[in-house]
Amino acid sequence: MTTMETSTPSPAGPIAELVARARAAQRIYETWSQEQVDMAVTAAGWAIIEPTRNRELAELAVADTGVGNVEDKVAKNYRKTFGLLRDLKGARSVGVIADHPARGIIEIARPVGVVCAITPSTNPGATPANKIINALKGRNAVIVAPSPKGWSTAARLIEFIHAQFDRIGAPRDLVQLLPSPVNKQSTAELMRLCDLVVATGSQANVRAAYASGTPAFGVGAGNVAGIVDETADPALAADRIVRSKTFDNATSCSSENSLVVVDAARPALIAALEARGAVMLDGPQKAALQALMWPEGKLSPAVIGKSATQIAERAAEQDAAGREAWRAIAARKPRILMVAEDGVGHEHPYSGEKLSPVLAIYAARDFEDAASIVARIYAYEGAGHSVGLHSAKPERALTLGLTLPVSRVIVDQAHCIATGGSFDNGLPFSLSMGCGTWGKNNFSDNMNYRHYLNITRVSRPIPEQMPGEEEIFGAFFAQHGAA
């Protein structure tokens, strides 16, 4: 019996037909050797990394979604895909992948079947590519369900992948796309018919994936905070923060939304940020920007993925009283707009995720106070994701890891570059970061190819290893007796 025959639906409509074709292709693909699978993985990677195709996808993504900027999307498409290919090179995903003689256990990799990959408009090229490659590594078929705005980019990406598949003799139906127009009904049906759902994007999409009745991996909400303490080098910290916060116009869930700065570090850090193009807004400007960003209590598409300069220009159009000041700010071509904040919660929207180069600055008395402020922010939004730390005291990273509700502590790095894996850290390359139970997720890893595998374990008998009661209960009995 092949992998998913028992749950194969009878074609009864366009979505079911899509899944049926994927199952047929996957049954062929699951017979491929590790070498053949790795060739398919490499082909899919080359489909997006090749410079001309990469740029076309980046330009199409910005043109269709209005989010981010082309050069950063080119860099993201390349780095995230190339890094993933590095991670997968030599990794076993076919047949026996591990043997533990002392435990009598052999591990065998098996496909999960047909994967439904839900992807966001913020990364309409890089995220589908990442999920497709990981799914292929596990000998799965994959059907991409993109956001409506990202559909044409995903469609073009899959055209490129199919062309590479033709070169190596891989079935095109291993990688397919949910037909346009994408809507909640078609996505829900696809989730129901597939064998695994991997959802990246809005929390509404993640909740729908969890409620689909199909096993699902989803990611938590972003809203990263970074701490800068009194021991940090202000110039280096500012370099990293600006690089992270401006990359692709802060569309990443890993971009800092708040900086919590210890009082002793604040003057030098703010000066360093301003020297690198950040602008601190005054009280009236902060209020005017809030009205632009959250006109009805919900973050406006008018600012999502736009540059700080574009946001300042739009604020000038809307804020009649402050128009000249906004025009002066826009003329400086700011890279980041900063606002001083001290509150957290719905009444303080700057404490939440902004998906734009707007940064809330919190003041903290000391490191302990800074950690407490971050905990308050995450109690409102962003629990489980990650926290940044700029400090010369390595023990403080361990303190954050032991006490804050985060799956990652990113130390002295450009946060949005580092969190999803980088060539100078040990995290797996990924565009889907699990946030653990803090973020209402069932995993806390950077999502990787092992999440796209079933693993069968063969257990053989080994010499008995049963301990005595004294070994188990001795310390307990010594302290509390054997009653």
Residues classed as catalytic? 253
Asked whether the beta carbons of 240 and 390 are under 8 A apart, the reply is: yes
Q: Please state, in angstroms and rounded to a whole number, the distance separating the CA atoms of residues 305 and 248.
A: 7
**What strand order describes the sheet that includes 216-218?**
175-177, 141-146, 114-119, 196-199, 216-218
Cα-based angle 204, 207, 211 (whole degrees, multiple of 5): 135
Q: In angstroms, what CA-CA distances link 455 with 211, 270, 451, 479?
A: 24, 50, 10, 42
Which pair of structure tokens corresponds to residue 440? 């209402």
424/155 Cα distance (integer angstroms): 32
Quickly tell me which residue has 């701490």 as its tokens. 227
User: How crowded is residue 292: how many other Cβ atoms within 10 Å of its Cβ?
Assistant: 18
What is the b/e burial string over 172-194, where b = at least 16 CB atoms within 10 angstroms of the residue's CB? ebbbbbbeeebeeebbbbbbbbb
- How many of the other CB atoms lie within 10 Å of CB of 327? 14
Q: Where are the beta strands (DSSP E) in 312-354?
A: 336-340
Report how far apart, in Å, the C-alpha atoms of 206 and of each of 146, 202, 434 are: 13, 7, 11
Secondary structure element (H or E) that encloses residue 371, with its range: helix 367-380
Instruction: Say if CB 179 and CB 95 are below 8 A apart.
Output: no
101 contacts: CB under 8 Å, gap ≥ 6: none
